[in-house]
Structure 1
Amino acid sequence: MIPPLLNRALIAGLLAVGMVISPAGAQTTLDKVSFGTNWVAEAEHGGFFQAVADGTYRNYGLDVTIVPGGPNDNNRMLLIAGKLDFFMAANTLMSFDAVANNVPVVSVAAIFQKDPQVFLTHPELKVTKLEDLKPLTLFVSKEGITSYFQWLKSEYGFSEAKVKPYTFNPQPFLADRQSAMQGYVTSEPFAIEKSAGFKPGIILLADYGFNTYSTLIETRREIVDKKPDLVQRFVDASVIGWYHYLYGDNAAGNAMIKQLNPEMTDELLSYSVKKMKEFGIVDSGDTLHNGIGTMTDERAASFFDKMVRAHVVRPDIDFRRAYTLRFVNKGVGLDLRPKNQDK
């Protein structure tokens, strides 16, 4: 009989070399998985880093390497080329575009139920609803013009005549008090508070019908076809990681983020998590019953119709090929959600 202390040491040693012990006592090698994000390490990726740091992926038989993105990286191309197994797609528009261009990738889970895209306003304007933005100068990025702003034009009658280029520099917004600036609810408001000393007003586009999914887990179709068990384990473990990151002790995940991105601060990480919970970015709506990562045909069809009306996507594509519901809506991790969360 192996003494308890020695037994624990043996198990730890096996884990260190990529081995796990199955209930039957057999040794099983962890499946190596690579996952590319679309930006540098930050709280908006927190659940994935948490699942690595706290051993959740290992508990699901996975040895996961996260490959951070950045301004000069294209991890999606690495996925398509077979260099990565999974990729963090920005939103559903990327999925529709893949179908339109016959790119053999598919979304298998949607971590963000709400896109974090917002407009920030000067507090003295007392902007309380989307329509209040119409008279203002709007600082919008090139990517924003071709995506969500087309929806603002078709659904709400916004005009490009009021738009000025947003170059990810807040100074033009700060200098013009009759303006609004695009941003993410999890980061830009914090930056404005720190640099300008005021809390900006926030209009979250998702709350007005811009119902794209965001931060999707994407993989190649061949992996879905040939390794469905691997996909399921990666999705389930990622979901558990997100519950732990939002509602548990996320110190391990944040430590990993800061190690990879030294510019990240504890204050910003805490702010981002707070805003993700406050605005229901990850856990709201369908996730309350189906679990984090959920997707539905109805939601996908609704967003597709809006993007067709806005002339952002072609009406003839088979948008249902952009995703599969095979790996989500199973209620994984619901028991980890605090009972007092009612967002």
Structure 2
Amino acid sequence: MKLSSTAALAAAASALALAAGSAAAQDLREIRYGTNWVAQAEHGGYYQAVVDGTYAACGLDVEIVPGGPQANNRMLLPVGRIDFYMGGNMIQAFSAVQEEIPTLVVAANFQKDPQILMSHPGVYDTFESLKDSDNILVSREGLATYYQWLITEHGFDEESTKPYTFNPAPFIADETAVQQGYLTSEPYAIEKEAGFTPNVFLLADHGFDTYSTTIETRRELVENEPEVVECFVNGSAIGWYNFLYGDNAAALEAIKADNPEMTDDKLAYSIEKLKEYGIVDSGDTLEMGIGAMTDARMKSFFDKMVAAGLFSADLDYTQAYTLDFVNQKVGMELKPAQ
């Protein structure tokens, strides 16, 4: 679905400071942004920037291309079928350097990865106690990535794991089970299906300090059209401020149009958790704005992934990202005073 709007927020135009005044007099640059899953609240800032006219204010006509189980938008980025991609976390970006794929992370719209472990209340009630379970349900991808960090950093062991098939029934049936999940998704499903609220442990709050929901693009776009990258990064930041703190009704309708299975209560739950846990707006964003990234944070996470055996220490991980388009406090004035 291609979303468009002729309305441009005056606040967005002034915040962008990207020649918005002349954008209306020129043809908009068509941009395709591929997400990594079906439309949901976790994509809200981008939908907001489309329906508000924020991207259009600096010259972009953005089409959101939803991902999903039958789509692989990541593969479309290097070959030019999409212009920007929503990365999951920095493991993927470091892998791109390792595989010599010419892509770059240009912003991080989630300061915290929403990856969680959850348990039944009254059984394993602390993060450290989770490793006492002999029934830790983890997907194959999770076992190869963050679970290796759990082993080296927190003393978990692989023998305690069992395959997670994205079916909550085994977890619900066994009160000693521990299950992986996404902060804004699986706990909600458990509450609805099983009638209890699980313990939720956000890995980011226990040292898994990757950035998440990153904006990736091709190196050639950064080199040849930096103004396009700047507009998309800044427009996305403004979109996230407006989605979290302003009137997001139109964005929510656009999400539901792209994903008819999405419900109002699920959207509301997800937004509540994004705010409660500071997924989008916390840490460095409080001083530098949504999308913030730092070299120190990148090095910290890379070193942990080296220790976990995912990468060689001599990999030049700094080639995975650039700070040229972030940390400029764009859109911060849209956040209500605390």
**TM-score, length-scaled by structure 2:** 0.93
Say which of 194, 197, 208 aligns to 1:199. Answer: 197
After superposition, the C-alpha distances for 1:293-332 in whole angstroms (9 at most, x for unaligned) are 0000000000000000000112121000000000000000
1:249–1:45 Cα change, 3 Å: same
In structure 2, the partner of 1:125 is: 123
Distance in 2 between residues matched to 1:50 and 1:22, nearest whole Å? 18
SS at match of 1:173: helix
Q: For 1:91 and 1:314, locate their aligned partners in 2 and report how far apart those are by CA, in whole Å.
A: 18
Q: Distance in 2 between matches of 1:196 and 1:26?
A: 52
Aligned residue for 1:228?
226
- The answer for the alignment partner of 1:80 in structure 2 is 78
Contact persistence 1:22–1:28 (CA under 8 A): no
Cα displacement string for residues 183-221 of structure 1 (whole angstroms, at most 9, x for unaligned residues): 011111111000001111100000000001100000000
Contact 1:36 1:68 in 2 (8 A): yes
Distance 1:116 1:309, change over 3 A: same
CA–CA distance in structure 2, aligned partners of residues 97 and 306 of structure 1 = 14
Counterpart residue number, 2:275: 277
Measured after TM superposition, the shift of residue 253 of structure 1 is: 0.8
Match of residue 147 from structure 1: 145
CA, structure 1 residues 85+284, in 2 after alignment: closer, same or farther (shift >3 Å)?
Answer: same
- Residue 311 and residue 126 in structure 1: after superposition, are their counterparts in 2 closer, same or farther (change >3 A)? closer
1:339, distance to aligned residue in structure 2 (A): 1.8
Does 2:297 correspond to 1:299? yes
* SS across alignment from 1:324: coil
Q: Which has the larger radius of gyration?
A: 1
Measure the CA separation in 2 of the matches of 1:106 and 1:247: 29
Task: Give, in whole Å, the separation in 1 of the partners of 2:273 and 2:136.
Answer: 23
The answer to whether the 8 Å contact 2:20/2:57 transfers is no
Gaps of 5+ in 2: 8-18
Cα distance in structure 2, aligned partners of 1:93 and 1:24: 39
Distance 1:24 1:285, change over 3 A: closer
Question: Where does residue 47 of structure 2 map in the other structure?
Answer: 49
Q: Sequence identity, in percent?
A: 57
More displaced 10-residue stretch of structure 1: 133-142 or 298-307 = 133-142
Q: Offset of 1:126 from its aligned partner? A: 5.3
- 1:244-323 matches, cutoff 5 A: 244-323=242-321
Give the corresponding residue for 1:99: 97
1:71-96 deviation per Cα after TM superposition (whole angstroms, max 9, x unaligned): 12111111111111100011000100
Give the Cα–Cα distance (whole angstroms) in 1 for the partners of residues 44 and 21 of structure 2: 30
Preserved contact between residue 23 and residue 57 of structure 2 (Cα < 8 Å): no
Runs of 4+ with deviation above 3 angstroms: 21-26
The secondary structure found in structure 2 opposite 1:202 is strand
Per the alignment, residue 215 of structure 1 pairs with 213
Report Cα offsets for 1:206-254 as digits up to 9, x if no partner. 0000001100000000000000011000000010000011111111111
| CA distance in structure 2 between the partners assigned to 1:75 and 1:68 by the alignment | 8
TM-score, length-scaled by structure 1: 0.91
CA distance in 1, matches of 2:36, 2:59: 25
Contact 2:23 2:58 in 1 (8 A): no
Q: Distance in 2 between matches of 1:229 and 1:203?
A: 40
The 1:282/1:12 distance shift into structure 2, 3 A limit, reads closer
Aligned-partner Cα distance in 2 for 1:309–1:23: 50
